[in-house]
């Protein structure tokens, strides 16, 4: 398969792995890249040295291209931005804000910048600033999400910008992958399904929770704070949602409640107090597989769908 995304990134399949905080380390990214997709290391809320170690791990495990995701709400964004230019990482994706202040330096270093966006306005802004492509992420996704669904967002972004569009949010199998091509996307990003990849180092309790999830098992908290986050239902996430409706609880207290909750899920497997971020497709994720097999399965399913699509018209 050849799209502007496979050409731009030098990859076999137009499938990116989401840059999930506390999940997407150098080992997972290398496994995805070795499987023919684009693996992505999450810089998340960590400092530059922590990221440098993960980049070195990825480089020791693969010769294929991989990316780094910069979470723009991180207090370490400025130092991480410098490190990326030093390390000459081939691809940088960004999330949870506008990357434009950092883009001139990244572009100068020859890095391809592919921001995750959740609105037409932000897509136009990052393309003006030199983005090579954009990742249009719908609100079905896990983690920090926008309002608009993938189905509604992707064609609007495709109409608004000339760069290739990668769809994200709500994609776990070949049918969904094929569907986003019909919406105009030229690639797709998958997060939730890679949570259960064999090379993914999160706590087994997190994997089991995804494997057992049902369709209605996610909820979003944080709307009152202006950054909605989708996660699987736990006592913690239900309490946080309740607290948001309580006028006696301040925004500072809400932020305090959320702090460290993703770590408690991914590292400790704390089923009571953890934030098990996952998308609405969690229920479709039913078996642990090697990252390369996940990519192959999505791609094969997509190929079948796309080849069969003409049966609907004469
Ligand atoms: O960033 C993500 N997903 C994430 S980040 C994260 S860590 C976190 N934890 C708690 C609270 C907040 C963050 C967990 N999951 N996805 C990419 C994404 N970016 N989705 C939506 C956006 C986005 C939102 C607003 C991109 C740009 C944007 O611009 C706002 C503005 O106008 O500055």
Does the pLDDT at position 310 exceed 90?
Answer: yes
Instruction: Please tell me the distance between residue 96's alpha carbon and the centre of ligand 1 in angstroms.
Output: 2
List Cα–Cα distances, 15 to 47, 144, 150, 233, in angstroms: 27, 20, 16, 28
Q: What mean pLDDT do residues 168-178 have?
A: 98
pLDDT tens figures, 254-294: 999 999 999 999 999 999 999 999 999 999 999 999 999 99
**pLDDT over 70 for what percent of the chain?**
100
Ligand 1 center to 223 CA (angstroms): 12
Instruction: Tell me which residue has its CA closest to atom 8 in ligand 1.
Output: 144
> Does 143 contact ligand 1 (Cβ within 6 A)?
yes
Gap from CA of 241 to ligand 1 centroid (Å) = 19
What residues contact 112, with CB distance under 8 A and at least 6 apart?
Answer: 8, 9, 90, 91, 92, 132, 133
The secondary structure element, H or E, covering residue 172 is none
- Give the pLDDT score at 314: 87
Of all protein residues, whose CA lies closest to atom 13 belonging to ligand 1?
A: 144
Nearest CA to ligand 1 atom 3: 144
Could you report the per-residue pLDDT of 90-101, keeping only the tens digit for each? 999 999 999 999
Whether ligand 1 lies within 6 angstroms of the CB of 240 is answered as: no
Task: Answer left, alpha or beta for residue 226, where phi above 0 means left and psi between -120 and 50 means alpha.
Answer: left
* C-alpha 292 to ligand 1 mean position (Å): 27
The model's pLDDT over 235-260, given as tens digits with 9 standing for 90+, comes to 999 999 999 999 999 999 999 999 99
Decide: 126 in ligand 1 pocket, CB within 6 A. Answer: no
CA distance 118 to 173: 22
pLDDT at 139: 98
Quote the CA–CA distance of 187 and 262 in Å, as a whole number: 28
State the pTM of this model: 0.98
Q: What burial class does residue 247 get, using C-beta atoms within 10 Å of its C-beta: 0-12 exposed, 13-18 middle, 19+ buried? A: exposed
Place of tokens 């922590």: 50
pLDDT of residue 235: 97
pLDDT attached to residue 112: 98
Q: What is the pLDDT of residue 234?
A: 98
Substitution candidate for ligand 1 out of 19, 125, 143, 251 with most atoms within 8 A of CB: 143
């Amino acid at each position: 398969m050849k799209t502007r995304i496979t050409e731009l990134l030098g990859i076999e399949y137009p499938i990116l792995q989401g840059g999930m905080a506390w999940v997407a380390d150098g080992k997972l990214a290398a496994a995805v890249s070795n499987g023919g997709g684009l693996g992505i290391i999450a810089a998340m809320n960590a400092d530059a040295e922590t990221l440098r170690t993960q980049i070195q791990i990825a480089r020791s495990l693969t010769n294929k291209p991989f990316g780094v995701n910069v979470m723009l709400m991180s207090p370490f964004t400025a130092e991480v931005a410098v490190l990326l230019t030093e390390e000459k990482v081939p691809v940088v994706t960004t999330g949870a804000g506008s990357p434009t202040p950092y883009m001139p330096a990244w572009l100068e270093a020859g890095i391809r910048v592919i921001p995750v966006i959740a609105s037409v306005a932000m897509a136009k802004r990052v393309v003006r600033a030199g983005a090579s492509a954009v990742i249009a992420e719908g609100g079905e996704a896990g983690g920090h999400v926008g309002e608009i669904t993938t189905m509604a967002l992707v064609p609007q972004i495709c109409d608004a910008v000339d760069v290739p569009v990668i769809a994200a949010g709500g994609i776990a199998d070949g049918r969904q992958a094929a569907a986003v091509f019909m919406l105009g996307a030229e690639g797709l990003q998958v997060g939730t399904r890679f949570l259960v990849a064999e090379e993914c180092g999160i706590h087994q309790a997190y994997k089991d929770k995804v494997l057992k999830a049902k369709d209605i098992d996610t909820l979003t908290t944080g709307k009152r704070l202006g950054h909605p986050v989708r996660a699987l239902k736990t006592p913690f996430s239900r309490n946080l949602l309740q607290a948001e409706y309580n006028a006696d609880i301040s925004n500072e207290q809400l932020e305090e409640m959320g702090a460290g909750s993703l770590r408690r899920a991914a590292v400790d497997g704390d089923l009571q107090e953890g934030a098990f971020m996952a998308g609405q497709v969690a229920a479709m994720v039913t078996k642990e597989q090697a990252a390369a097999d996940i990519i192959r399965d999505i791609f094969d399913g997509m190929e079948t769908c796309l080849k069969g699509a003409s049966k609907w018209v004469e």
